[in-house]
Structure formats: C-alpha cells, structure tokens
Structure 1
Amino acid sequence: MLHWQSNFPVTGKISRNLRIGKTRTPAVAFASSSHIHQRSLRYAVLGAGFAGLSVAWHLLEHSHTDLHVCVDVLDEIGVGGGASGVSGGLLHPYSPKVKPLWLAAKCWEETLRLLSIAETNNGVLNQSSNVFIARRKGILRPVVSLKNMSVMNDNAQNSLDSCRIRSINEDAARRLVPDISVPSNLAFYMPDAVNIHPQGYLEALYLACETLAKEMSSVGLGEKEINFHKRSIDHLLELEGEYDAVIVCLGARSTFLPELSGKLPLRTCRGIVAHLHLPDNIREEFLEHSPSILSDAWMAIQNPRNVYLGSTWEWKSCNYSQNVSMEEASKALEELIPKASAVYPNITKWDFNGAKAGLRAMPPLTGNGSLPLLGQIDDLIGQTHKSKFWLFSGLGSRGLLYHAWLGRLMAQAVISCDEDVIPPELRSWRPKLIKKG
C-alpha cells in the first residue's frame, strides 16, 4: 500500500482531555482597550484538513496581539487524515465551476501566500521525511473534447497575470512531456500552476501555526496557543460552553453529526487515488522539468519515476476511510488507466504501488458555480447561549484553491461575530435551508 503519511501522523501538542475552566468572554474584533490582555478567547476548530488548518492559521494571525487566544484543533484521525490529505494537489485557478473570476483570483493569491508560509517550515519536516511541499513545473492540459476546448479558450482569454495560460501544439507539448498524445493538436499549458503534496503541505502549515503562536506571544501582552487533540466529536453540543466559538471544518464528516444530519445541501463522493511507480528496467521516465497532466484522469508527478493518478467518483458513499481494498484498487485502475493512457500511453508500463481514498463534500450547483458553504449554524443545531457555532464545508474537488482565502473570511467572521464579513454568495445556502425546515 502507498505510504502517504509522514513519520509523524499527529503533529503538535496532543491532549486526550481538553482543558476546561479558562476565563471566557465574548469574541471581539481588533479591540484596543488597555485591559484587553486580561481577556481570553478559546476556539475549537473541528477538522485538520485544508479548511480547518486555514481557519486555525487565520484565527491566530487576525487576533489582537494583546488578547490571550487558544485554538484547539480536533480531529479523530490526525493532520491531513481526511480527503484533504489524499487530494491530487494540482493548484490552478481555472475551472468552469469556479465563478465569478474575482473569487478564483482572491483564492489563488491567498493560497500561494499560505503555501509560501508552509514552505518556510518544510526544513523541520525534512529532518524525518523527504517530502516536497510544492513542485513548480506547471500543468499541461491536452484538449480531448470540444467542450474542453471551449472552456480552456475562455479561461485563456481571461487568465490572471499571475497564472498564465498558453495554447501550444503537439510538438511543443512533447518538448515538455515526451511521448504525450495530443489528439486535437492543441494543449493548454499553465507554467505558473503548482503541484502541491497535500500531506506535506498540511503538516508544514500546522507547524507554521505553532511558530506563529510563539512569535505573537513574544511580542504582545496576550499569549497565543494552538493545540492538536486527536479526538472524535459525536455531538456538537458536547462542546457547548467550553469554547467561545466552534468552527466545523469536517468536510463530508460534518454530515454525520446528529445536529447537522440531513440539514446541509451537500453530496458525498468517494474518490480513489493510485500511486504508480516506474519499474527500474524502464527508461521512459518523466523529465525533471515535465509538468503534471490534467485530463479526464489527472497525473500529479512526484518525481521522474513516481506519479499519483486520480481520481474516481463514487457518489453517495459514506465511507471516509483512507484505506482501499485490493478489489477497490483494481476497479479504480480499470477506470483510470484508459483515461490516462489516452493522453500519456506510456502510463501502461508503470506499476501499481498502492492507493488511498477520500470522501469529498461536494457543494450544490448555484448560479455562481459550485461554492462552498460558510456561515453561522446556531439556528440549525438548536438554541445555544455560551458558544457560537460556525460551518466551513463543501470544498469539493477545489478545496486546495478555495481553502486559504475562505478560511481567512471564516476566521474574520468568527473573531468579529459578524457573518456579513462573508460574501452573500457563500451564505446563500442558508435561507433556502431554513425555509425547508
């Protein structure tokens, strides 16, 4: 099986029993009282994937330096133990489901910033593992259909300055990826796109949160803390009164919470990603400068002789385990290899080296595209008085792009106790849901 986890699957300060009894006050936004250092705020972030760790980082970053702030990250599996840690890691701002363009632009910029922050902590990770955070070789997308061509032509005409799209012919594509097949003699190349190793990135981001907490504690009057708790949450209300705010960032697992079951307009989809390795007796490896490949099946290149291939789509699944049986893996390869070989025939020479799976939380389709769900959910779980409950879910297959900027908005809304910080497009799911209730 594929060894996806690094040598420390649970990072940070670990506590089985959460500390209770700290002084609590209502959350405030950027206050400046001379007595502000006497206040203490406690936040619980449920989930240690893209959404959860982005929210945790921004809760620390945007809290007033004179406030005592404690952020507890709770996840029953570990950092990156859900769908985030198994995702493809192909980062670019273009998709027919990412609308409007301002959303893609803001998300792209903030994700690059968080990526840079995580990379500064990669040296700590490399003491125990040889995991890259980002491979900046671009992404190549051969045209395989008229619909694909139309979408990419539109994206190319409206591309961001920081992530260009170039149309190239088959000869140019083969200079990037030898032996690639370009059926329509047209491919789109995004040289600024990035291939991120999700597990390595998430672990580095958590370490960055620890570093930020220490740095902020050293310059302000208020101490900053972040702690990881390997703990499952069976009911949201078991946290009532323990925290100023609880932010649910559990992805598909949020639909299994009793208080939210049947109340969220989310669809679940299990996806399997295969790890392929080129046998030692075969020389036709990817070049060091070769970009990753995006097609009906994507290929995220790890190095010239290792690639992640994905992903399958099993709708309405309730299985969020990363483990994949040999039967599941065999069926996944039967689906993925033909799609991949249509643009890269040599993939049939590669050997299977394991697989992992993730359960995605897919958002509803709206007039603005498929947008994640953000907002306050006190009215969905019943009357509460001591804690505020928030939701950040539905990242779908674009979680890597969305997570950074939306995590920032979520944290700012929590700190200020103001849901209007979140754009209405990202809260539009709530009125419809309340009318059905």
Structure 2
Amino acid sequence: MHIDIYDEVGIGGGASGVAGGLIHPYSPKAKLLWRGAECWKECNKLLNIAEGAATTRKSEIVDKDLDHELGEVIVWRRGILRPATTMKNVDILNENAQNCLGSCNIETIDQDGAKNLVPDICVPFNSAIFMPQAVNIHPQRYLQALFVACENLVLDLTALGYEGNKISLHKKSVNSLVELAGEYDAAIICLGAKSDMLPDLSGRLPLRPCRGVVAHLQLSEDIRDEYGTQSPSILSDAWLAAQGTRNMVMGSTWEWRSRDYSSNVSAEEASKALEELLPKAAGVFPSIKNWKFTRARAGLRAMPPLTPLGSIPLLGSVDDAVNGNHICKYWVFTGLGSRGLLYHGWLGKLMAEAVISCNEDVLPPELTSWRKIQR
C-alpha cells in the first residue's frame, strides 16, 4: 500500500492545528454527542499512539514541518470544568450528569468543589460539572506525532518482511482531481472548509464556513501564582485550555460565512477577539485579566448541516460528481466542524474500511445523508 498525502500547509497547519484541543464526548449542553462513545474510544487510542510515537521515534525521516521537539507534552490529562452560567444551565448540567459514559463520566459539584480544583474559579449559580477523564491536547504536536506513528508503522512492517508499504507527505496543493486520474486506486478529499473549492465539488457540499480566532495567553512574569499543575481546563461561554502552569489558550470566536482561510490574524481582528472573549472568560475565571496576550491564530471550520441528530460530518463516495460513474475511486471526508479532534479517529477508521472494500455501505447512513440536503 502506497499512501501520498498532499497538504500545502503541512501537517497540522490548518484549522485543526489552531484548535484549543479540549476533547470530551459531550455537546455544549453536556448531552452525549452522536456516536460519542465510539468517537471517544478511538480518540483515546490515537492519543496513546501519538504519545508513544513522540517519545520512541524510529524513523530517520524528519518532517520539515515539525515546529517542536518530539517528546514535548502532547496531552494534558487533568479534566475539564464547566461552571453553570445561567439557571437553565444548572438544570441541563444536573440532568445530563445522570446519563454519561463510564469512560468519561460527569461529576456534579458546587462552588466549594470547583474551588478545590481551580482556587480562583467563580461559579455564579453554585453549580458546575467536572469531567475528570476529559483531556486537553496540543493539536499540532498531536497531528504531527500521528504522522510519525504512520512512518514508524511502515518501518515495523518492513522489519517483519512486509515490504512495499510507503507513506509520503507532499507539501503542495492539488487544484483538480483530474490531476490524480490514473495515478491512484483511490483519492480521499479531506480539505475541510476548502473541500468545495475544488472545481470537481464546487456547489455540491452543504458546508457552512465559520472562522474562529483563538488567543494565546501567558502569565505575566511578575505574578507568582501559577495555574495549578492539576487544575482542569475551563469550558464556558469562552473556553480556557491550560497548557502547563503559565500558558493558556482562550477561544473561540465564530464568524459565519467567512472565506478567510489564513491562520494569520491582524492586530484589528485580534483586538476584536479579545474584546469579545475576555469578559466571558473573566466571568468564571477573574484572574485571566492578569495574563498577557502573546498572539492570536485563526482557522476556518467546515461546519456541516444541522440535523435532528446534531451536526453530522460529511463522508462518502463522490464519483458521480467527478467522473459520472460509481467505481468508488473518489471519496470525501469533511464537515467535522469544531469537533474534528474527537471525530477523526473513528470516522477515519470507517473511511479506510469503505475505501479498501470499495463499499460505501459500511458507513452509517447518517454520514451520507448530506446528499439529500440542498446548499
């Protein structure tokens, strides 16, 4: 099996690499997401694989896009705290705490319990939930470590006598699927919000683009009270992803219908994002005002259509759009929205099975129902 990855911005250079990295299998109202159990299980498997690859690298091929030293922290396993900010939140959080996954349970706590976890937390309605198994990851390090894990797998298979396997990264774009005609047995389009920019798919995917800005914060040098080494990240109207004791990511804004794909953020856009996010974050963690803004980054989410089951990603064969037949050669994998870091493991597993078997029927019908939705 030979796999070529074409990515003009490199591994983790898009919206997924910009994300805050808070991962749990629940919706904003704490209800279990569609297929949340399956996604959470596969997500944890890949987190373990990425951590292993980052500390025991075997490959001599060094990805030029790595912006860090392998072995740095990829996953912070200290849970996520969500204070209730309205009376309606109190009822919803308490109700859904009764129906949660054993592998990622929800604990209902009061203000005293929350302060034991984050001393400076503010719990306006004396009610919060704590998800002790939820995690916070560094998305770019994680995605790059997964690529390293794939390289390592090729080396392991070769050592066992299974020669001929290969994986390569090409840092360039593909302007049309016609460029790939005759070269591959299958092509999977996973371009996120850029998927419908391919002329072959233009106007065919019901995606809703949404730009999000996140702010990177650092504790001022003159302040000694660091964020607790075991204190959880905070999920509220604005989330705070703790990365160590003196670094934090705050997010995120939602600019619907944006077509700005750049991760760069102008001074004006950064200022507007801070004006929007800081008051929300300070409402539950007042000490955030002592943290210093260092930079802002942005990404364009590929939001799927809303359905009775929630926002379901878009997967399936698109041969009819590309060449008018159904030979299962061209596939689309997009619309993961703001939950790509949770969905990708399980959906990737399904996608691989469908591609290898040339059988779209292995995909749950919810994933292909987008064809019935008009843009």
Q: TM-score normalised to the size of structure 2?
A: 0.93
**213-222 or 169-178, which deviates more:** 213-222
Matched, 1:411 2:352: yes
In the superposition, relative to structure 1, how do residues 352 and 199 fare at CA in structure 2: closer, same or farther (>3 Å)? same
Matched, 1:94 2:26: yes
**99-108 or 349-358, which deviates more:** 99-108
Give runs of aligned pairs for residues 13-412 of structure 1, distance below 5 A.
Answer: 69-95=1-27, 103-123=35-55, 124=57, 128=69, 131-383=72-324, 388-412=329-353
Match of 2:60 in 1: none
Match of 1:426 in 2: 367
Letter aligned with residue 203 of structure 1: Q
Quote the Cα distance in structure 1 between the aligned partners of 2:30 and 2:187: 28
In the superposition, relative to structure 1, how do residues 352 and 217 fare at CA in structure 2: closer, same or farther (>3 Å)? same
Quote the Cα distance in structure 1 between the aligned partners of 2:34 and 2:259: 33
Quote the Cα distance in structure 1 between the aligned partners of 2:68 and 2:217: 25
Shift in Å at residue 318 of structure 1?
Answer: 0.8
In the superposition, relative to structure 1, how do residues 253 and 97 fare at CA in structure 2: closer, same or farther (>3 Å)? farther
Shift in Å at residue 253 of structure 1?
Answer: 1.1
Letter aligned with residue 240 of structure 2: M
In the superposition, relative to structure 1, how do residues 152 and 100 fare at CA in structure 2: closer, same or farther (>3 Å)? closer
1:187-234 deviations in Å (ceiling 9; x for gaps)? 100011000110110010000000111112332545211000001111
Secondary structure of the residue aligned to 1:121 is helix
Quote the Cα distance in structure 2 between the aligned partners of 1:417 and 1:302: 42
Secondary structure of the residue aligned to 1:322 is coil
Which 4+ runs in 1 deviate beyond 4 A? 96-102, 124-127, 384-387
* Contact preservation (8 Å) 1:140, 1:292: yes
Aligned residues: 366
Q: TM-score normalised to the size of structure 1?
A: 0.80
Shift in Å at residue 385 of structure 1?
Answer: 8.3
Quote the Cα distance in structure 1 between the aligned partners of 2:287 and 2:125: 19
Quote the Cα distance in structure 1 between the aligned partners of 2:154 and 2:347: 21
1:117-172 deviations in Å (ceiling 9; x for gaps)? 00001224898366311000100000012343344234311111111100111111
Shift in Å at residue 322 of structure 1?
Answer: 0.7
Letter aligned with residue 16 of structure 2: S
Q: Percent identity?
A: 59
Letter aligned with residue 71 of structure 1: I
Shift in Å at residue 285 of structure 1?
Answer: 2.1
Shift in Å at residue 252 of structure 1?
Answer: 0.4
Shift in Å at residue 349 of structure 1?
Answer: 1.1
In the superposition, relative to structure 1, how do residues 98 and 297 fare at CA in structure 2: closer, same or farther (>3 Å)? closer
Structure 2: gaps of 5 or more residues = 58-65
Shift in Å at residue 300 of structure 1?
Answer: 0.4
* Contact preservation (8 Å) 1:216, 1:223: no
* Contact preservation (8 Å) 2:26, 2:32: no
* Contact preservation (8 Å) 1:275, 1:352: yes
* Contact preservation (8 Å) 2:30, 2:97: no
In the superposition, relative to structure 1, how do residues 131 and 209 fare at CA in structure 2: closer, same or farther (>3 Å)? same
Letter aligned with residue 252 of structure 2: S
Structure 1: gaps of 5 or more residues = 1-68
Quote the Cα distance in structure 1 between the aligned partners of 2:138 and 2:203: 33
In the superposition, relative to structure 1, how do residues 346 and 70 fare at CA in structure 2: closer, same or farther (>3 Å)? same
* Contact preservation (8 Å) 2:93, 2:128: no
Quote the Cα distance in structure 2 between the aligned partners of 1:390 and 1:270: 25
Quote the Cα distance in structure 2 between the aligned partners of 1:105 and 1:401: 10
Quote the Cα distance in structure 1 between the aligned partners of 2:358 and 2:32: 26
Match of 1:60 in 2: none
* Contact preservation (8 Å) 2:320, 2:326: no
* Contact preservation (8 Å) 1:100, 1:368: no
Quote the Cα distance in structure 2 between the aligned partners of 1:409 and 1:235: 25
Secondary structure of the residue aligned to 2:97 is helix
In the superposition, relative to structure 1, how do residues 291 and 89 fare at CA in structure 2: closer, same or farther (>3 Å)? same
Match of 1:29 in 2: none
**96-105 or 231-240, which deviates more:** 96-105
